[in-house]
Structure 1
Amino acid sequence: MQPKPFPSEPGILAFHKRCEEFYPADGVDVLIEQQRRWYDALCAEFDAPSPEGLTRQDELVGGRIPVRRYRPVEIATQTRILYIHGGGCVVGSLESHDAICAEIAHAAKAELVSVDYRLAPEHVWPAAFDDCFEVLTWLLADGRPLVVAGDSAGGNLAAGIALKAKAEAVGGIVGQVLIYPGLGGDLKSGSYAEMAEAPGLSTADVRHYRDVLKAPPENAFAHPLKADDLSGLPSAYITSAHFDPLRDDAAVYAERLFAAGVNVTYRDEPQMIHAWMRARFMSEGAQEGFRQICLGVRGFVGTL
């Protein structure tokens, strides 16, 4: 039997060990309520102090979609950031990614809005997608530029709403930041085979989340790799984890964007596993990867 793929960086290995103390490897097999309790506890374990002076404001979009607005003490741009959290469209919330959103807003010197979209299995596709697109159009209504960003399932949603904005001639998106996104790869070849048993996320986990979400397999908004034409999309910063079945989704999408004439920066973090942003205070590789994400965001919002 082939050994499971594991990184060698001590910090990321310590991070993975701590994660498994909160969220066991077979966690997708338990009731969704338990999964969400485990995920919330795991996220809280890696929280960090809020940047000094940063404020938060919770509100509703369209009277039903919760969002959280982050305003750092110094705002140096009119461009805002829409952040979409990960969690397979099954777990995650405004709270799960609160510290990450606060740090990105602070680093970018830009206002950031995080969206609490509806989750599966209670709300299957396109509920989460529709919520995110509604918040996108709400933010763009005042004519200010916007960067869309997200991790994992949030990266999928960010790429998908950028595609829909292009299809509907909705202007104003100046960048997309896709962090270890799942974009609709075949689940059989490339990193899906090589990293099928990777720590933190397995190919079986990815299949499970797709089954729960019930997105149409050929729909390009749900699976951006299915899109025929990527020309005219916003500039992109895409980052992946080497030890992650989703790695090739990010790499192939970056290649296709570049071939379509889109300005793209792509980084594969060689020692990282899925969800490595949470390891930014434990792992040198994660710390540098997160710094690069913040630089990518700053380039799009104009605060470099």
Structure 2
Amino acid sequence: MMTRDQRSAARSMIIKGELGRPPSRQRAEFDELFARGPLGDDITLAPRTLGGVPALDVQVEGADGDAVILYLHGGGYVVGSARTGAGLAAPLARRTGLAAVSLDYRLAPENPFPAAVDDALAAYGDLLGSGRRIVIAGDSAGGGLALATMLAARRDGLPLPVAAALFSPWTDLTLSGASLDSRGDVDPLFSRAHMAEYAEHYLAGHDPKDELASPLLADLTGLPPLLIQVGSAEVLLDDSLRLAVRAAEHEVDVSLDVVAGAPHVYPLMAGVMDEADQALDHAARFLGDALA
């Protein structure tokens, strides 16, 4: 189990950012944290496009070419990139033995809703044309975007991915989760005000109840098996808990991992928290079992 020292170390690595920072500054700070880290000598990144959207091929030596992971990065729909997404796409590729593609979807406020959904759907459709089996994964806003992409694909009559792995997904832009308030003091990264700021940038006045903005509110019937991983020390805890319940109510196979005291997208803490490595191992087994 995660030791008290590991929990303390993981949370001490994170600080709440100031509200009202320009997106350009937030992006630079996010990249400084997440776009510079080593991915391992066995990982190769190569630029490409998918459906006209920039992306990075995340290749691991000896990867199985029959299936692919479509990875959607987090960052509140405002920050992040294909390179920051590679921080989780790469260990998933390594553990599954699959190739991955990390998508550089357009960001708000310059490109508000539904630009991210349109980009992810275009990329997904392009991957479908390759004939490879697809699993989809994403963290935070990217987890919500993974759900929205599947809903949009279902709407358009496209085949759905084999499975989806969601790390601390942001699923409700109406901001109705009780944990936005009850976990605000223990979340080292976000408060309700942070999430409201991101939502305002992304929605730009659009109805937050739109199911492609808040997939928690959608009919999830027919979606593939879902794995949700979340920490208890985050304001988005309820976005995961309620998603698991709703998926079950709609007859979707769903697995939920909750780690007490873990912060937002705790699998990024691999090497610092034992549970982070275990979470990635579980996600890889889940995706591999679904493909098998």
Answer yes or no: same fold by TM over 0.5: yes
Q: Which runs of 5+ in 2 are unaligned?
A: none
Q: 1:37 to 1:236 in 2, by over 3 A?
A: same
Task: Within 5 Å, give how 1:1-304 maps onto structure 2.
Answer: 9-20=4-15, 25-44=16-35, 47-52=37-42, 54-63=43-52, 65-76=53-64, 78-184=66-172, 186-197=174-185, 198-214=187-203, 215-227=206-218, 229-302=219-292
Q: AA paired with 2:190? A: L
Q: CA RMSD in A?
A: 2.0
Greater shift after overlay, 70-79 or 115-124?
Answer: 70-79
Give me the whole-angstrom Cα distance separating, in 2, the residues matched to 1:105 and 1:191.
Answer: 32
Q: Secondary structure of the residue that 1:104 maps to in structure 2? A: helix
Runs (4+) of structure 1 moved beyond 6 Å? Answer: none
Contact 2:209/2:217 (<8 A) preserved: yes
Q: AA paired with 2:9? A: A
TM superposition shift of 1:14: 2.0
Contact 2:160/2:223 (<8 A) preserved: no
Aligned residues: 288
TM superposition shift of 1:26: 3.3
* TM-score between both structures, scaled by the size of structure 1: 0.88
Contact 1:241/1:271 (<8 A) preserved: yes
Contact 2:228/2:256 (<8 A) preserved: yes
Deviations 1:150-175 (A, max 9, x none): 00000010000111111221014111
Contact 2:75/2:140 (<8 A) preserved: yes
Q: Secondary structure of the residue that 1:19 maps to in structure 2? A: coil
Contact 1:69/1:114 (<8 A) preserved: yes
Give me the whole-angstrom Cα distance separating, in 2, the residues matched to 1:8 and 1:55.
Answer: 33
Give me the whole-angstrom Cα distance separating, in 1, the residues matched to 2:140 and 2:190.
Answer: 11
Q: 1:49 to 1:235 in 2, by over 3 A?
A: closer
Give me the whole-angstrom Cα distance separating, in 2, the residues matched to 1:58 and 1:49.
Answer: 16
Deviations 1:9-61 (A, max 9, x none): 322332332333xxxx233422221111111111156x244252x33321123
* TM-score between both structures, scaled by the size of structure 2: 0.91
TM superposition shift of 1:287: 2.3
Q: 1:135 to 1:188 in 2, by over 3 A?
A: closer
Contact 2:160/2:224 (<8 A) preserved: no
Deviations 1:146-201 (A, max 9, x none): 11110000001000011111122101411111110011165355312211232112
Q: Secondary structure of the residue that 1:267 maps to in structure 2? A: strand
Give me the whole-angstrom Cα distance separating, in 2, the residues matched to 1:189 and 1:173.
Answer: 28
TM superposition shift of 1:294: 2.3
Contact 1:55/1:72 (<8 A) preserved: yes
Q: AA paired with 2:26? A: Q
TM superposition shift of 1:99: 3.1
Q: Which runs of 5+ in 1 are unaligned?
A: 1-6
Deviations 1:201-237 (A, max 9, x none): 212111111011014212101111121x221111111
Q: AA paired with 2:47? A: D
